Structure 1
Amino acid sequence: MSDLISGVDNLSVTETKSGGNDAGRIAEVKAWLASQFDAAGKDVPEFEYTPRNIAHLYNLATVSQAKTQAANIVANDFRQKAVEYRAQAARIREILENVGLAQESLPSNVVSSAQVLANVANLLNIRDTELSSFLVAMGDLSLRKTGVEEKRSKVQKESKILLDYTRKAIARLTYLKRTLTQLEDDVPPCEAQMENWRTNLAVMASKERQYLQQYSNYKSLLNRVGYSQDISHGMLVEMAEHRQDLEKKTKPIMDTLRSYQDLPPDKALATLAIEDKKRQYADAEKYLEDVLHSALTTTD
């Protein structure tokens, strides 16, 4: 039926204008429908014979008749070949009976072997039981076996690659699951830390506002008292360093002046003090000479 439908699709639908042709086509279509439904044991259903329907049915009938004719030709050919095969089989059977090789006179094992040989020939799809035919069929079977083995090897390699990919995917999935579990475990501590940071951030924001307010107040205070850049921190540090340099330079002078502070303010008293110092110096020299002289005497 599919062949018929495809045949109808391939044919062009033509609509004739003459009434005689339409009547002839309608008659052919009715006859064809009657033959088809009679063969199926059913009545032809009622339908409207429009030009389009008649054209489709006429094309379908034409294709069906052509297919039927071709099938009859093939069937007749098969029947003729069957008759020829039967005649050849009868002739071969007669020859075998004449030489004493009839099937009834053969041993059962020979009949079984012949049947097995015929089954093998049918399995190998060969038309005779010649050795060459078996060899060719076996060679073809070996080639197909080789092809199947190559395909099998290729499929095994692909399966191995897919298995490797699958193992890697499973390992990656396991790693991702473990990472997900670890991240889920890290969520509570991180949330607590984030909450702490949020609290600290709020405190720092409050401190920032407080410091900004204090800075504004101090700035207003400095402006009110007349603050200038000359008394800035850098300037004060520079002045302190300059003071230290001055102290280093004046220290020797101050030490010299302090040595003169022990002298009396009167000149006469100063003269007496100097004479007293000279006398003390002379006594010290005499005492040193006595000590040295006594030391030398003791040594002798």
Structure 2
Amino acid sequence: MSDTVSGAVDTPVTDAAKSGGSDAARIAEVKAWLASQFEAAGKEVPDFEYTPLSVGHLYNLATVSQAKTQAANIIAADFRQKASEYRSQAARIKEILENMGLAQESLTSNVVSSAHVLANVANLLNIRDTELSSFLVAMGDISLRKTAVEEKRAKVEKESKILLDYTRKAIARLTYLKSIHKQLEDDVAPCQKQMEDWKTSLAVMGSKERQYLQQYNNYKALLNRVGYTPEISHGVLVEMAEYRKELEKKTKPILDTLRSYQDLPPDKALAALAIEDKKRQYAAAEKYLEEVLHSALATND
């Protein structure tokens, strides 16, 4: 049991020691890298605190820098080797040309300028030799590229025309919208006045509506008080009015007769005297009428 505990306690100590050693190695490597970089620039390394975060960041930078430096050294060595090979090949070709009597010093200026032009054209066409077939292949490639460029140019011109047409239509639409916008701005003031009038009218109509609703409720309550029912329709009222007129026609002669008797005195004897008086007045009126008629007839004869 004690061995197990002691082993469990010793393990963290060993890991801590390893971690401390690793951090120390990183710090040493970072310091060496910083010293080499600042020494190459002719400056001294500034003082700063080596925290775990800064050490980790600088260690990553140092690792990347060393890897890129190593790759650059490899590429530079390869370029130096190729340059040495090119120099040796140039010396060999120069020797061959001198043996053939074609050294640059023995050539005329026209030949030298033509050779320079040929070399420049070869470099421009990205070919490695001056064979006629290479030039023809390169020219064919340029012709194909030229055709592709012309096709792209024609396509771009077509698209440009379409875009120009769209632009003109958009400008026309924008002009139309501007005119509509100006017209709407000019119509704002009259419309606002009309809206104010409508608001006033709506307020009046709202007041009238409330008034009519109140009157409707009052009339409804009145009809309920007088016993109005939905069966009392306009047609029923018209029929009742016609029936009333017929009753008035039938009762009018009776009422007239009764009104004529209203002038008679309540006593029977007085009534008889009044009747006799009326008869005499009637007879006198008839006699007077006969006399008037006779006199009128005599005058006509």
What TM-score do you get using the length of structure 1 for normalisation? 0.56
Q: Which amino acid aligns with 1:97?
A: E
Q: Would you say 1:72 and 2:73 are equivalent positions?
A: yes
Mapped partners of 1:38, 1:164: distance in 2 = 65
Report what 1:40 is aligned to: 41
Give the alignment of 1:84-233 within 5 angstroms. 84-186=85-187
The SS at the match of 2:106 is coil
What amino acid does structure 2 have at the position aligned with 1:173?
A: L
Q: Does structure 2 retain, via aligned residues, the 8 Å contact 1:117–1:129?
A: yes
Q: Deviations over 1:195-230 (max 9, x none)?
A: 788888899999999999999xxxxxxxxxxxxxxx
**Separation (CA, whole Å) in 2 of partners of 1:106 and 1:20:** 72
Secondary structure class of the residue paired with 1:104: helix
- 8 Å CA contact 1:16, 1:22 repeated in 2: no
Q: Residue 65 and residue 179 in structure 1: after superposition, are their counterparts in 2 closer, same or farther (change >3 A)? A: closer
Distance 1:76 1:198, change over 3 A: closer
For the residues of structure 2 that align with 1:162 and 1:178, how far apart are their CA atoms?
Answer: 24
CA distance in 1, matches of 2:68, 2:104: 42
Q: Distance in 2 between matches of 1:154 and 1:147?
A: 10
| In structure 2, C-alpha distance between the alignment counterparts of 1:177 and 1:169, rounded to whole Å | 12
Q: Distance in 1 between matches of 2:104 and 2:171?
A: 67
Question: Which deviates more, 149-158 or 160-169?
Answer: 149-158
Write the distance in 2 (CA, Å) between the matches of 1:27 and 1:204: 95
**In structure 1, what is the equivalent of residue 262 of structure 2?**
none
How many Å separate the matches in 1 of 2:94 and 2:40?
40
**Where do 1:43-58 residues align within 5 Å?**
43-58=44-59
> Unaligned 5+ residue runs, structure 1?
1-14, 216-231, 239-300
TM-aligned CA distance change 1:195 to 1:96, over 3 Å:
same
The runs of 5 or more residues in structure 2 that have no matched partner are: 1-15, 217-232, 240-301
Q: Out of 58-67 and 112-121, give the one that drifted further.
A: 58-67
> Higher RCO, 1 or 2 (CA under 8 Å, sep at least 6)?
1
**Would you say how many aligned residue pairs link Structure 1 and Structure 2?**
230
Change in CA separation of 1:204 and 1:118 when aligned onto 2, cut-off 3 Å = same
> What displacement does 1:81 show?
0.9
TM-fit CA distance, 1:193: 6.7
**How far apart are 1:161 and its partner, in Å?**
2.1
What per-residue deviation string (whole Å, max 9, x for no partner) do you get for residues 121-166 of structure 1? 2222222222222222222222322332232223222222222221
Q: Pick closer, same or farther for the CA change 1:16–1:81 going to 2, 3 Å.
A: farther
Q: CA deviation at 1:84?
A: 1.0
- Paired with 1:197 and 1:54, the residues of 2 have a C-alpha distance of 79
Q: Deviations over 1:33-79 (max 9, x none)?
A: 21111101110112223444444434433333332222212111111
For 1:185 and 1:99, how far apart are their aligned partners in 2?
95
| Structure 1 residues 52 and 200: CA distance shift in structure 2, 3 A | closer
Residue 245 of structure 1 is matched in structure 2 by none
Q: Name the structure 2 match of 1:261.
A: none
Contact 1:29 1:54 in 2 (8 A): yes
CA RMSD of aligned residues (A): 4.4
Length-normalised TM-score, structure 2:
0.56
* Distance of 2:132 and 2:145 partners within structure 1: 20
What letter matches 1:81 in structure 2?
A: K
1:211–1:63 distance in 2 versus 1, CA, 3 Å: closer
Q: 1:178 to 1:100 in 2, by over 3 A?
A: same
Distance 1:200 1:31, change over 3 A: closer
How do 1:264-283 and structure 2 match up within 5 A?
none
Q: Which moved more, 1:60-69 or 1:195-204?
A: 195-204
Secondary structure, in 3 states, of the residue corresponding to 2:105?
A: coil
| Alpha-carbon separation, structure 1, partners of 2:65 and 2:162 | 54
